[in-house]
Amino acid sequence: MEPGAWKVGCSELVLDGNAADDDPWMMMLKQWLACLRINGIAVAASLWVAIWPAPRTSGAESSPSPSDTATVEALGMLHQVVSNVGDCVRRRDLASVHLEDVLLSSAMATVMQVTKALPPDTQPKLRAELEDFGHQLSELHYAADLTKQERAEKQLLLVLQGFGRIKSFFPADTLKAASDAAEKYVCPLHPEVTGRRTASCQKCGRELGQQMRLIAGRTNGPYCSMQTVQARIGANHPLKAGHEASAVLRLKRLDGQPVYPTDLIETHTKRVHLLLIDSSLTDFHHEHPLPTPTPGEYAFRFTPRKPGSYLAWADIRPTPMGLQEYAAATIEADMAGEPLKDRAIKTRVAVDGLVFELAFDQPTLFAAKPIHGRLRALSRKGGGINE
């Protein structure tokens, strides 16, 4: 990757100002903050896809065939994630390892559903392997966050071994179809031209260097966001511009159990990154709530500079899978916030003397449809900068 360029994974994006007449600032916030990660500012929804394969008979025929699109795409996605994470470690680009989490969530959720078509005695074995694989990959992410190259290299070997065990549950023809799908690349200028990475575009001669990311179930089944953690925030008084607020973030599992600090994997030296923004999208805060004596509660303080309620996202990586997710909440105020004034779609902005450019793999973006993008940062002189 060229200096000054970061990969961006996102979902739930609609670049259409007419799509949010009832609550425009919330929709616009989802549009932009769900896609950008700048200096640790990230709000991205982990997209999980529910695929229910058709029932199969017992025995050898129970294994998914290459025609099973959900299985092939799910395994292909895992293939891409493992390959890309390995590339990051080998080229010592540990900062890019965490960017695979969004698609990994979707792929593993789909493989979990695929297990329902396997023989009953096989299902718990594959689920156990998937859980162990997710744990090993989360450990690799942790090593990458700590910039521990040697530790990351050792952990990568365990990830590769775990992926090998997962593949052993599927027939060779299914794995071949998944590998072929995972290794397709497209021309950056002509996305309709696909082929192997070393091939050249027939239209412009460029190398097919842009990976075609697989999205499991993109044509089958509903898309849904399945959070494993829910968030709620209470403050000591309604928010008021210029006045410090003491607040408590409450995290709980879907079954109501509290999320303990030991349930959260440390990322960038913190277990919880709380991202806050007002209705005008001009006052952003990045806080790190600390655990209180009450299980599942994390305290923090911040001073809003704008009136009205604030939207919040808890950026966390809960065990056992250790995959990044964002638990949303609202901090209430007793007065209306400022409206969103600038609705223009911008893919290039200047902030504090730096220029940020955002580009996506395809021109049209839709809600709940994951897409892969690239964020490029330039210095005042126009040259790329390193993270």
Topology of domain 48-223, CATH:
Four Helix Bundle (Hemerythrin (Met), subunit A) (1.20.120)
- Token representation of residue 19: 């799509």
Residues of the chain with CATH 2.60.40.1930: 228-331
pLDDT score for 336: 93
Residue 251 near residue 317, CB atoms below 8 Å? no
Q: Answer yes or no: CATH 3.90.25.10 is held by domain 228-331.
A: no
When pLDDT is cut at 50, 70 and 90, the band that residue 168 belongs to is very high
pLDDT score for 322: 65
When pLDDT is cut at 50, 70 and 90, the band that residue 188 belongs to is low
For 330-364, the pLDDT digits (tens) are 999 999 999 998 888 888 888 888 888 898 888 88
Name the 3-class secondary structure at 158.
helix
When pLDDT is cut at 50, 70 and 90, the band that residue 384 belongs to is low
pLDDT score for 54: 33
pLDDT of 275 strictly over 70: yes
- Token representation of residue 152: 């990351």
Residues of the chain with CATH 1.20.120.290: 48-223
Name the 3-class secondary structure at 239.
strand
Rounded Cα distance, 44 and 56, in Å = 36
For 280-311, the pLDDT digits (tens) are 999 999 999 999 999 999 999 999 999 999 99
pLDDT score for 271: 92
Higher pLDDT, 70 or 241: 241
For 211-224, the pLDDT digits (tens) are 777 765 543 333 33
pLDDT of 5 strictly over 70: no
pLDDT score for 386: 54
pLDDT score for 215: 66
When pLDDT is cut at 50, 70 and 90, the band that residue 320 belongs to is low
For 231-272, the pLDDT digits (tens) are 999 999 999 999 999 999 999 998 889 999 988 887 778 999
Burial environment of residue 115 by CB neighbours within 10 A (0 to 12, 13 to 18, 19 or more)? middle
pTM flag (> 0.75): no
pLDDT score for 57: 35
pLDDT of 94 strictly over 70: yes
Rounded Cα distance, 25 and 28, in Å = 5
